[in-house]
Amino acid sequence: MVDLCEEFRTRNVVGLDIAGDESMGEIPAIKEHIMAFQRAQELGIPRTVHAGEAGPAASVHEAIFLLHANRIGHGYHVLQDPELYKLVIEKQIHLE
């Protein structure tokens, strides 16, 4: 997927996005996702992770630190962790 983002980035592909059903419980990042998002970061491809809607603030933490998200889909529960919320503001991580 990252290869396609890189190949078509000059033709309307604007980033990489991942989402899962948080209502099913904790969804840990898997190695392949971590590696893909790391590569996307290295290539300067914007990265969105949907986290913190039904899941806890810890899912937002994982999205930022493991998946290198610079945009969080939803992220409502980030407010449960004042330090994480402060980091989101400082790093100017967009919350949808």
pLDDT in tens, 64-83: 999 999 999 999 999 999 99
| pLDDT at res. 87 | 97
What pLDDT is recorded for position 26?
65
Question: What is the chain's length?
Answer: 96
Mean pLDDT over each residue of the chain, to the nearest integer: 92
Question: In total, how many domains does the chain have?
Answer: 1
List, for residues 17-50, the tens digit of each pLDDT value: 999 877 776 666 788 999 999 999 999 999 999 9
Task: Read off the tokens for 47.
Answer: 């990265």
Residue 26 appears among annotated catalytic residues: no
The answer to whether 37 and 67 are in contact (CB under 8 A) is yes
pLDDT of residue 34: 93
Alpha helices in the chain (DSSP H): 2-7, 31-42, 57-65, 82-90
Give the predicted TM-score (pTM) of the model.
0.88
Q: What is the pLDDT of residue 10?
A: 87
pLDDT at 41: 97
Is the pLDDT reported for residue 89 higher than 90?
Answer: yes
Per the structure, the complete domain to which residue 59 belongs is given by 1-95
Which H or E run includes 48?
strand 47-51
Residue of 53, 83, 90, 96 with catalytic role: 53
